[in-house]
Amino acid sequence: MMKNEKLIIKWQRLVENNTTCPRCSETEKEIEKAFKKLKEALKVLNIEVILKKYELNKSEFSKNPLSSNLILINDKPLEEWLGAEAGQSKCCSVCGDNDCRTVQFNGTIYESVPENLIIKACLLAASELISGERKVKVLNFK
């Protein structure tokens, strides 16, 4: 029997006056959908999926705007799992003059991170957690 493994999704975003920007708000909806699906799907593989959300205040955001809307999967950025790139673009009044994080994957720039990219990155991370080789009887055809 495999031991229980943990797949930890960490997500942080700017929150000011209980409000975040539209792209972080949309990413939150997508990450929640992905989390529910992954939690159920990976249970059969003894992988516990954990979602941790962190809030950045305006001061923290101002020092490093690209740390907002950052998703880490087992402490590795989503972009690294996917072979994607982090970018930046103007956002909204909540973010002020700062550019916010984007994800560029397969030629498409995403301002909010869609569920399918979150699931794909998490499945790649989960595949690294599956340890031990199963012993299977090899059958030969004659």
What does CATH list as the number for 5-129?
Answer: 3.40.30
Model pTM above 0.95: no
| pLDDT at residue 57, rounded to an integer | 85
| pLDDT at residue 15, rounded to an integer | 86
45-49, Cβ contacts within 8 angstroms, sequence gap of 24 or more: 45/2, 45/126, 45/130, 46/1, 46/2, 46/3, 46/4, 46/5, 47/4, 47/5, 47/6, 47/7, 47/126, 47/129, 47/130, 48/4, 48/5, 48/6, 48/7, 49/6, 49/7, 49/9, 49/122
Domain boundaries in the chain? 5-129
Q: 10-residue block means of pLDDT along the chain (142 residues)?
A: 82 85 89 98 95 90 82 95 86 64 91 96 93 50 60
Task: Report the residue count for the chain.
Answer: 142
